[in-house]
Amino acid sequence: MNSQAITADTLLHAGWIVPVVPRGAVLENYSLAISGNRISALLPRAAAGVIEAADELELPDHVLLPGLVNCHGHAAMSLLRGYADDRALMPWLQRHIWPAETTHVSAQFVHDGVELAIAEMLRAGTTTWSDMYFYPDVCTAQARRLGTRCQVTFPILDNATVWARDADEYISKGLALRDAVKHSDLVTVGFGPHAPYTVSPDTLQKVAVLAAELDAPVQIHLHETRGEVLQAVEQYGERPLESLHRLGLLGPRTQCVHMTDAGDQDIARLAASGAHVVHCPQSNMKLASGACPVTRLLQHGVNVALGTDSAASNNNLNLFAEMQCAALLAKLQSGDATALPASEALAMATINGARALGLEDRIGSLEVGKQADVIAVDLGGPETQPLYNPLSQLVYACNGSQVSHSWVAGRPVLAQGRLTTIDLDHLLPRIRAWRERIGSTAGQTLDQ
Ligand SMILES: [Zn+2]
């Protein structure tokens, strides 16, 4: 060891590093060091000789980038992937999904569904995700056990479900969970009022007060369809976004999921409030819900992140596919092929997602001092050759299967394409058993 040496736990030598900050930067022949749970160095390969690491990895065909951030989903619903396709949102929910959930959702359902979702997400580069579902305590335990970073927004509804009787019980159980995991480095717990059409104004106001007191994140489905907005105007005389504003629920801690129906006034309101938008293009297209005006939101300074929504309405949890869709849809919508370029789509899947979840100072970019949430993507295969521009390949050519390695807070969770915290031989038979159980009752909920 020479006298100037710096020590690290892991030293990665990559063909390229895309740090995301600064936007659009591509560093060729660079190295990244991990010490403990943090990034401790980012420097040209030629200068990396000063670092002595316990583990050193050569990744010559790979690009390193920050772990992807999936800002909206219902992980356990992966058990309903492909269960009821090709239907509009409300019939899909009312005639299929909600009845199936009433019959089957349990702590074990969430345990297994979340593990399936995490396996899929890690294999495609997602290291941080947000969840809104019943048994958030089980989801939280799974996220921690399997080594992923997660924002758990506990569900809040007015009606009784398998998890709680009424809004007060949802909130009290959720706050107990928040208290129980307040020291976790990996999991943050926030409020998940489902939507303005399932949660009353009184409850939304209560959430606003509590979230402000606790400085906690709030995630809500909002303006998912034009029908939702029209119905609210009829019932309350105002658009749901305006109701949220009036109830004190719209601010920098608020994550508005979908926003497919957003006019100039809505965009101005979002921009003034500092609220975030989570764009879920594949789910919106599959349910024919509409298309979020991403380009205009970004132009007005609104932070827009990406989400998959659940595997029941997508039908995958692959953020590479979501990036590609977001970019293509923005071009189609605006009639402008320069809209949402690759660097911006990648920012939405990383640093914008981190900002939406209030984790911008910890994750979302590869910068010294940030948490070591890092993924390696192998661009050496035929699907991503020849390589003129790594950013272009990442957004327009990758399908997620090129992700070879992932670290979360410095811990390897995917190595050479193999999950290190999940045993698929143990998981997949359990998932097949769920298919037997759920499939056997599917006929009860199908319409004609
Ligand atoms: Zn959703």
Dist CA 105 CA 87 (whole Å): 22
> Residue 247 C-alpha to ligand 1 middle, in angstroms?
22
> Residue 81 C-alpha to ligand 1 middle, in angstroms?
14
Query: Quick one: average pLDDT of 238-252?
Result: 98
> Residue 311 C-alpha to ligand 1 middle, in angstroms?
10
Over residues 53-65, the pLDDT tens digits come to 999 999 999 999 9
pLDDT exceeds cutoff 60 at 298: yes
> Residue 151 C-alpha to ligand 1 middle, in angstroms?
14
Burial zone of 227 (CB within 10 Å; 0-12 exposed, 13-18 middle, 19+ buried): middle
> Residue 306 C-alpha to ligand 1 middle, in angstroms?
12
pLDDT exceeds cutoff 70 at 436: yes
> Residue 195 C-alpha to ligand 1 middle, in angstroms?
9
pLDDT exceeds cutoff 70 at 448: no
- Average model confidence (pLDDT) for the chain? 96
pLDDT exceeds cutoff 60 at 445: no
Structural domains in the chain, sorted by start:
6-66+372-416 (2.30.40.10), 68-356 (3.20.20.140)
Over residues 144-175, the pLDDT tens digits come to 999 999 999 999 999 999 999 999 999 999 99
Residue 89: the pLDDT is 86
> Residue 243 C-alpha to ligand 1 middle, in angstroms?
20
Residue 276: the pLDDT is 98
> Residue 313 C-alpha to ligand 1 middle, in angstroms?
9
pTM summary value: 0.97
> Residue 310 C-alpha to ligand 1 middle, in angstroms?
6
> Residue 213 C-alpha to ligand 1 middle, in angstroms?
26
Residues by chain with Cβ below 5 Å of ion ligand 1: 309
Residue 440 pLDDT grade (very low, low, confident, very high; cuts 50, 70, 90): confident
Listed in sequence order, the residues at least 6 apart from 421 whose beta carbon sits closer than 8 Å to its beta carbon are: 145, 146, 147, 413
Over residues 49-93, the pLDDT tens digits come to 999 999 999 999 999 999 999 999 999 999 999 999 999 888 999
Dist CA 267 CA 326 (whole Å): 18
> Residue 307 C-alpha to ligand 1 middle, in angstroms?
9
Residue 3: the pLDDT is 53
Whose CA is closest to 356, among 366, 367, 347?
347
pLDDT exceeds cutoff 80 at 441: no
Helix axis angle, 107-123 to 136-145, nearest 10°: 40
> Residue 15 C-alpha to ligand 1 middle, in angstroms?
37
Percent of the chain topping pLDDT 70: 98
> Residue 73 C-alpha to ligand 1 middle, in angstroms?
6
* Cα R_g (the chain), whole angstroms: 21
Burial zone of 448 (CB within 10 Å; 0-12 exposed, 13-18 middle, 19+ buried): exposed
In the chain, the largest separation of any two C-alpha atoms, in whole Å, equals 76
